[in-house]
Amino acid sequence: MTQRIAVIPGDGIGREVTAEALRALAAVAAVGPELSFAFEEFDWGTERYLAKGEMMPKDALETLASFDAIQLGAVGDPRVPDHVTLWGLLLPIRQGFDLYVNLRPVRLLPGAPTALAGRRPQDIDMLVLRENTEGEYSGKGDFLFPGDPTREMALQTSVFSRVGCERIIRYGFDLARRTGRSLTSVSKGNAMNYSGVFWDRVFMEVAEDYSDVPTQSLLVDAAAMLFVRDPGRFGVVVTSNLYGDVLTDLGAGIAGGMGLAASANIDPTGASPSLFEPVHGSAPDIAGKGVANPMAAIWSAALLLDHLGHGRWAERVLRAISRTIAAGVTTADLGGTASTEEVGRRVALEIEALAE
């Protein structure tokens, strides 16, 4: 059966790295007889915004709804404020399709460099789950008294619904149970005396259904410190939208950098297509130069494979990335001199070699 993938390369290096993610998927399909993909590309992003006043068409979600999955590059361009591009494309898809799970592996692949002295792949292997549709990214707020020097203010409202908290926490427990890991809840229940207290309470309530899963609850500041000091204590981590975004950049820092940080935006019900993207943005400073690391985008394509039921191939793509790093075919962020395309081609070759 052919699986249909919508492709949104987006802005900046998103275009370059997405091409390599598709090359990896094509390599998988070339050697995996049971796999077949049909790609359809959409030129949505900032160029479209500048020409037509919108990042994507009004019926974008209806168009995407018929696909099996979405592969995204990046959004963001210095010619347009970042909140306009982010709220013009990525966040409406996450919210509109209710992609409430943002899975971000923080895993040190064999051969990848880490900023932490003496740490090995077995020391850094967590699955961070970021609530992806509400929390601090609800998009609700206001500017009051604009221009008034004494009263001007911005309001940004966090939304922590019972349904929203419970479903991501429950997903975390299920994932921890399935993978034999512990579950860490990260919040800020001392200072955030409504949302944080509520999150912690829901976590404790849900935990009653999972007495077999070891748990810990941490304040986000302590969690940040422990990601660096003792990453091995984390298995699955579940947290809110903003904390998850921040913590996973720290996670990237200890697991090879942003060039190796992948993510999946998942609708666990399967009602809508899930979306896969590198964690990094559009990096306008290096866009068009052919030097961006495509491995995060390729890894996100591996998450897509896993989501579509091809877990064996997903693991093979990760091994291909590892072997490419071990062969020294890396971009400058990992200390090498290879171009984006050279890395992508090498990963594709490794995928084919692993299939033999």
Which residues are at the interface with ligand GGG (CB under 6 A)?
Answer: 72, 74-76, 86, 90, 245, 277-278, 280-282
59 is a catalytic site residue: no
Q: Per the residue annotation, which of 68, 188, 306, 333 is the catalytic one?
A: 188
Query: Residues 6 or more apart from 204 whose CB is under 8 A from it?
Result: none
Closest CA to 185 of 232, 235, 124: 235
DSSP class per residue in 269-310: TSSS-EEEEESS---TTTTTTT-S--HHHHHHHHHHHHHTT-
Catalytic residue among 137, 243, 267, 333: 137
Minimum gap (Å) between residue 245 Cβ and ligand GGG: 5
Min dist. Cβ of residue 256 to ligand GGG (A): 16
Q: Would you call 82 a catalytic residue per the annotation?
A: no
Tell me how far apart the terminal alpha carbons of the chain are, to the nearest angstrom: 23
- Give the burial class of 141: count Cβ atoms within 10 A of its Cβ; 0-12 exposed, 13-18 middle, 19 or more buried: exposed
- In the complex, what is the shortest distance from the CB of residue 156 to ligand GGG, in angstroms, rounded to a whole number? 14
Name the catalytic one among 245, 267, 306, 333. 245
122 DSSP 8-state letter? G
Q: For ligand GGG, which residue has the nearest CB?
A: 74
Three-class DSSP category at 331: coil
The Cβ-side half-sphere exposure at 206, using a 13 Å CA radius, reads 26
Q: How near is the Cβ of 300 to ligand GGG at its closest, in Å?
A: 8
Residue whose CB is less far from ligand GGG, 171 or 243: 243
Q: Which is nearer to ligand GGG, 90 or 176 (CB)?
A: 90
**173 or 227, CB closer to ligand GGG?**
227
Q: Minimum distance from CB of 75 to ligand GGG (Å)?
A: 4
Token pair of 167, please? 């479903």
Complex with ligand GGG: residue 262 or 317, whichever CB lies closer: 262
Name residue, tokens 């896969």: 276
Bridge partners (DSSP) of residue 135 are: 159
Cβ-based nearer residue to ligand GGG, 8 or 351: 8
DSSP letter for 121, please.
Answer: G
Q: Identify which of residues 75 and 247 has a Cβ nearer to ligand GGG in the complex.
A: 75
Q: What is the CA radius of gyration of the chain?
A: 20
Q: Does residue 333 carry a catalytic annotation?
A: no
Cα gap 307→304, rounded to integer Å: 5
Q: Could you tell me the smallest distance in angstroms from the CB atom of residue 216 to ligand GGG?
A: 25
> CB under 8 Å to 240, separation ≥6 — which residues?
130, 131, 135, 136, 158, 160, 186, 187, 195, 199
Tokens 């020409």 belong to 51
Q: Which secondary structure element, helix H or strand E, spans residue 168, and what is its range? A: helix 162-179
Q: Among all residues, which ones are annotated catalytic?
A: 137, 188, 221, 245, 249
